[in-house]
Amino acid sequence: MDRFADRTDAGTRLAGPVARLGLADPVVLALPRGGVPVAAPVADRLGAPLDLVMVRKIGTPGNPELAAGAVVDGAAPQTVFNDDILRSLGLSAEDFAEAVARELKVIEERRATYLAGREPVALAGRNVIVVDDGIATGATVKATLKALRGQGVASLTLAVPAAPKDTLAVLTPMVDHLICLQTPEPFYAVGQAYARFGQTSDAEVVALLTG
């Protein structure tokens, strides 16, 4: 397998296939932190605005690791719930109002850190391209895509350097276009597709978004 040198190399290679889609009025959304250095070359190639899409898991009472849903930021933040989990617990979306507000506060703080309080790019009617450095289980990306559909986007494209085939099969019906450069088998972790896969720092994210 021809591994990516680093996230910037992956983004540079990803930019060509995304550009060939010929999407009008595109917006590139990166999942921080690792998705930002991948998304930056894509946004540069398209001449598109680069923004963040941040998602926070909403845990269940007594078991915060079990996701009842997720909240995704944006000009109109969206909350997506797992109906099966809610039914099994005998709970409704309204029971999580405080948790949603708490996670939105975290998102607000992180957006302030990364973008100095800049308002999210309006997505309604735009062709939105979601970029991450790779996908493993796809749970976070799935919540993100569901929420973005609720913001009136013209189309959704998911573009990633690497992901397992079974995860892509689940995500494909949720988007208009899906671009994935590599599907390693067996798939152990996103990092196996990279020669260098260190943690992306907050400072790097800020530099890429403001540079």
Non-local (6+) Cβ contacts of 103 within 8 A are 56, 57, 58, 71
Q: CATH number, domain at 62?
A: 3.30.1310
Same domain, 62 and 42: no
Same domain, 83 and 95: yes
* Residue 1, in any domain of the structure: no
Q: Is the pLDDT of residue 83 over 70?
A: yes
* Residue 77, in any domain of the structure: yes
Same domain, 44 and 129: yes
Kindly indicate the confidence band of residue 57, based on its pLDDT and cuts at 50, 70 and 90. confident
Provide the residue range defining the domain that includes 87: 55-115
* Residue 166, in any domain of the structure: yes
Per-residue confidence (pLDDT) for residue 87, from 0 to 100: 93
Both structure tokens of 107:
């998102």
* Residue 103, in any domain of the structure: yes
**DSSP codes, 108-146:** HHHHHHHHTTPPPPP-TTSEEEEE-S--SS-HHHHHHHH
Same domain, 154 and 83: no
Indicate the pTM of the whole model: 0.90
Q: What is the pLDDT of residues 123-148, one digit of tens each?
A: 999 999 999 999 988 888 998 999 89
Per-residue confidence (pLDDT) for residue 1, from 0 to 100: 62
- Structurally, the chain folds into a number of domains equal to 2
